Amino acid sequence: MFKFKKDKYSNNRGGNSTLLKISCQYCGTHICFYQKDGPGELRRMYCDRIIYPKELVEDVKVANFNELKPLKCKGCNRIIAMPMIYEKEKRFALRLFVGAVKKQKTTIKEFEN
């Protein structure tokens, strides 16, 4: 069963997390599920918060920043996010291009189906 990650990062953002379904703005292809911690716009996706699909979770689980690849939509091949390091927390992330993705709030129940 899926559970939200609870750690210093989520605590720093107020402790509340939501589950987001991320899809490509251009062609609608589903990209991933993402745990968003705290309020505010989604500008970047932290690699340790990408939940699904497994291939992407594995892809972003890298030791070196240089191994992190731009995130491409499988449907239309557009690059929708670029690797970055969030310096404050020394955390790998993918910076989303403005307007590149659709974000839909979803529930754990829906995710598990």
HSE-CB of 69 using CA atoms within 13 angstroms: 9
Nearer Cβ to Zn ion (18/29): 29
Among 27, 79, 85, 108, the residue binding Zn ion under the rule CB under 5 A is: 27
Quote the CA–CA distance of 26 and 78 in Å, as a whole number.
Answer: 9
Kindly identify the residues of this chain, within the stretch 29-48, that bind Zn ion according to CB under 5 A.
Answer: 29
Burial category of 80 from C-beta neighbours within 10 Å (exposed 0-12, middle 13-18, buried 19 and up): buried
How far does CA 57 lie from the centroid of its chain? 9
Task: At 66, list the tokens.
Answer: 């240089």
| Residues 49-88, mask of contacts with Zn ion (x by CB under 5 A) | ------------------------x-xx------------
Question: Which residue stretch of 16-24, 35-43, 86-94, 101-109 sits at the interface with Zn ion (rule: CB under 5 A)?
Answer: 16-24
Binding site for Zn ion (CB under 5 A): 24, 26-27, 29, 73, 75-76
